[in-house]
Amino acid sequence: MNYSEKKTEEEWKAKLGLERYRILRQKGTEFPNSGEYNMHFEKGTYCCGACDEPLFESSSKFNSSCGWPSFDESIPGKIEYIKDTTHGMIRTEVVCANCGGHLGHVFDDGPSETGQRYCINSLSVAFNK
């Protein structure tokens, strides 16, 4: 995938800091219930933590009790889906379509009409009112 927003790994590290770099660029996962947006339900938009592209509207956020911020849909066209077979599971990884930053995974057990549950690291996104 050829992303519009490109930087070297050194540039990303300098821009994001170690924690965000570990999640967004090295596909890390923050501890459950540790993220600042897990129980955050203000109105606004969640943007990519690496390149600032808008990814999720607060209207799609719901409390899944899974320990990470959860959304039932993304802003159309902003997400890339990648088959992930690590850790002995078949999952769908979601990354920012603009920069390739790792966001989390999407599952098809969501409680709303979309049937989707995007399970997203707080550190992968930045909230804007």
Angstrom distance (rounded) from CA 96 to CA 89? 22
- Contact residue for Zn ion among 60, 70, 74, 98 (CB under 5 A): 98
Query: Smallest distance from the beta carbon of 52 to Zn ion, in angstroms?
Result: 7
96 binds Zn ion (CB under 5 A): yes
Verify binding: residue 50, Zn ion, rule CB under 5 A: yes
For Zn ion, what does the binding mask look like between residues 100 and 129, x meaning CB under 5 A?
-x----------------------------
Q: What are phi and psi of 111, to 5 degrees?
A: -85, -10
Write out the two tokens for 55: 């990814």
The SS3 of residue 19 is helix
Residue 119 annotated in active site:
yes
Q: Smallest distance from the beta carbon of 39 to Zn ion, in angstroms?
A: 24
Count the Cβ atoms, other than its own, within 10 Å of residue 21.
19
Q: Does 99 bind Zn ion (CB under 5 A)?
A: yes
Minimum separation from the CB atom of position 126 to Zn ion (A):
10
Q: Which residues pair with 94 in a beta bridge?
A: 81, 104
